[in-house]
Amino acid sequence: MKKFKFLSLVMILIILLTAGCSKISNEDAQNTSFENLSEEKIKFVTSFYPIYIMMLNITDGASGVEVVNMSETHTGCLHDFQIQPEDLKNIETSTAFIINGAGMEPFVEKILQENPNIKIVDSSKGIELILSDGHENHSHEEEEEEDHHHEYNPHIWVSISNYIQQIENITDEIINLDPNNADIYELNCNTYIKNLEQLSSQMHEKIDNLPNKNIVTFHEAFPYFAKEFSLNVVGVINQNPHSKPSAKEIADTINKIKQNNVKALFVEPQYLDNLAENIASETNSQIFVLDPAVTGDKSKDCYINTMRKNMQTLVEALSHS
Ligand SMILES: [Zn+2]
């Protein structure tokens, strides 16, 4: 709390200082303020990998900015993530905590209750959410009883158009939080989006007309991706990432695969196990790896590279009806 008061005091000082330096050009003023502030950097903390990669791109070359990924040692989605004291410390000392939203970070409400000064940037704003499987048939009362966050599927970034929307949402907000770097954020945002749009149209070209678009995936990471490329997810092998599917669920999946002439099972590099192999041999289908881009080499281009690989996999898997 003290840190925040101190930070806002510093911010006010900067505003006063830069406002007083009207003879110095804008650029000089920026440099001066950052030199004085070398110990009080702008720090953005991201909740998990895809958001971290977005931020690497948006903030590339921005001066005095640090991007820290909270769940650094945690692999994959945040479904079974337990927030640690050092994560909280990171968030509390940040300029903003940048999250996926859509229920991927259910712990955020509690953090805000304990520390309402934390600035949260929710990248999911305005994105049309898809209900989680298994929630469609619930009565209204049943839904009320459940944690509201879990009714929607949180894997929004796996759709390229959602990913672009998330980048725009984040850029809009961090420009207000760090106006000194506004120009570079905007430039980076535009460049990255241009590359993503190019990727998207290339993917549509390759995927839209594939003859067999029925697929089965491992966990519920692909509904947004499937919607974007008109793929039909006829089954999900492991609906709940917290537990193994029951014998009945496995039997249901096998039936769906047979009924829908599914030739390709898609597993994820983050969740490999032999269940998919058993199902594949039982149904004469083949296993391919589709990557929801939640892990990687932490390079700026890894989302684009992962999606390009997914495109090649889909072409290979679905070219024969
Ligand atoms: Zn997930």
| Per-residue pLDDT tens listing for the chain (321 residues) | 455 555 565 555 554 444 433 333 344 444 444 444 444 689 999 999 999 999 999 999 999 999 999 977 777 889 889 999 999 999 999 999 999 999 999 999 999 999 999 999 999 999 999 998 754 444 444 444 444 445 899 999 999 999 999 999 999 999 999 999 999 999 999 999 999 999 999 999 999 999 999 999 988 899 999 999 999 999 998 877 667 889 999 999 999 999 998 999 999 887 767 888 999 999 999 999 999 999 999 999 999 999 999 999 999 999 986
Point out which residues pair with 266 in neighbouring strands. 217, 288
CA of 201 to the centre of ligand 1 (A): 25
**Number of other residues whose CB lies within 10 A of the CB of residue 286:** 12
CA of 241 to the centre of ligand 1 (A): 7
CA of 77 to the centre of ligand 1 (A): 5
Q: What is the Cα–Cα distance from 239 to 151, expressed in whole angstroms?
A: 13
Same domain, 192 and 224: no
CA of 204 to the centre of ligand 1 (A): 24
CA of 154 to the centre of ligand 1 (A): 7
CA of 37 to the centre of ligand 1 (A): 39
Cβ neighbours of residue 113 under 8 Å, at least 6 residues apart? Answer: none
- Within-domain flag for 89: yes
Same domain, 55 and 136: yes
CATH of the domain at 281: 3.40.50.1980
CA of 220 to the centre of ligand 1 (A): 6
CA of 218 to the centre of ligand 1 (A): 10
- Within-domain flag for 26: no
Same domain, 119 and 252: no
Same domain, 305 and 190: no
Q: What is the Cα–Cα distance from 32 to 17, expressed in whole angstroms?
A: 10
The residue among 168, 197, 226 that closes a domain is: 197
Same domain, 179 and 228: no
- Within-domain flag for 202: no
CA of 190 to the centre of ligand 1 (A): 28
**What pLDDT is recorded for position 320?**
80
Which residue range forms the structural domain that includes residue 272? Answer: 208-318
Q: What is the Cα–Cα distance from 280 to 256, expressed in whole angstroms?
A: 12
CA of 94 to the centre of ligand 1 (A): 26
CA of 128 to the centre of ligand 1 (A): 18
Tell me, rounded to whole angstroms, the distance of Cα 218 from its chain centroid.
18
CA of 78 to the centre of ligand 1 (A): 7
Same domain, 147 and 217: no
Q: Is 43 strand, coil or helix? A: strand
Number of domains into which the chain is organized: 2
CA of 76 to the centre of ligand 1 (A): 7
CA of 255 to the centre of ligand 1 (A): 24
Q: What is the DSSP string of 96-127?
A: EEEE--TTS-TTHHHHHHH-TT--EEETTTTP
Same domain, 48 and 190: yes
Distances (CA, A) of 6 to 9, 11, 35, 89: 5, 9, 18, 16
Same domain, 184 and 282: no
Same domain, 137 and 228: no
Give the H/E segment covering residue 264.
strand 264-267
The residue among 162, 197, 232 that closes a domain is: 197
The residue among 167, 197, 227 that closes a domain is: 197
Same domain, 213 and 282: yes
